[in-house]
């Protein structure tokens, strides 16, 4: 079960030993991109399993080989929305758990001089507001990109059930998300110490996108 944080009411952290073991290996600077991707997707799948425990279900009849019984199905479509490009690196891990989920994309990058989000792409299901939305990005640093994406989902597409999944988060980004999107819950494997002068998470794990795609 994820642990609540008394200083950050919008944050839940996974202290599960298997997740923490994999996170430690991801942080290691010697971990190559192939293993990095594999570990990242494994963590994403483990996190989603817990995050989805409150999704609504409908009761339906089911005919087993022996008799008719009663079962359950998810009541509403689930949409994954990775923030390009690094968010894509966690999506397959979630799709392995729920392959019927739809996948939208929001493209936004951080201007390294201004630290402000710069949008460049957005493609989402037209009925995305019908069900839960999972916003995905491995790193929640300043919160600029995540806040922009959440605004698109909530204000422009009327999404009411939004959760965010990230691998590591900085307090600065968590606080910004709470100030600008207090309805949104953030799930992470680690709340790290903070940001350096360049806006990178400490201790962090480097540039997630470069480590996922081998573009170091």
Whether the upstream peptide bond of residue 203 has omega within 30° of 0, thus cis, is yes
Long-range contact list for 205-210, CB < 8 A, 24+ apart? 205/26, 205/27, 205/167, 205/168, 206/29, 208/40, 208/86, 208/89, 208/138, 208/139, 208/167, 209/85, 209/86, 209/89
Known catalytic residues are 110, 114, 207, 210
For 111, the 3-state DSSP assignment is coil
Alpha helices in 60-170 (DSSP H): 88-95, 144-151
Q: Cα(164)–Cα(140) distance, rounded to whole angstroms?
A: 10
């Amino acid at each position: 079960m994820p642990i609540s944080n008394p200083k950050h009411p919008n944050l839940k952290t996974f202290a599960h030993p298997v997740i923490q073991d994999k996170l430690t290996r991801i942080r290691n600077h010697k971990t190559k991109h192939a293993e990095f991707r594999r570990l990242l997707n494994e963590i994403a799948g483990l996190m989603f399993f817990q995050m989805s425990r409150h999704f609504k279900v409908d009761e339906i009849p089911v005919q087993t080989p022996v008799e008719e019984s009663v079962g359950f199905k998810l009541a509403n479509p689930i949409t994954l929305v990775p923030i390009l490009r690094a968010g894509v690196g966690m999506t397959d891990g979630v799709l392995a758990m729920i392959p019927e989920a739809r996948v939208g994309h929001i493209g936004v990058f951080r201007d390294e001089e201004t630290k402000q989000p710069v949008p460049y792409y957005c493609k989402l299901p037209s009925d995305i507001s019908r069900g839960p939305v999972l916003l995905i990005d491995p790193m929640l640093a300043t919160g600029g990109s995540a806040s922009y994406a959440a605004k698109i989902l909530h204000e422009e597409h009327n999404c009411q059930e939004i959760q965010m999944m990230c691998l590591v988060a900085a307090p600065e980004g968590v606080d910004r998300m709470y100030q600008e999107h207090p309805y949104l819950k953030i799930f992470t494997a680690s709340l790290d110490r903070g940001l350096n002068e360049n806006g990178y998470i400490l201790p962090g794990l480097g540039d997630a996108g470069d480590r996922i795609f081998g573009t170091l």
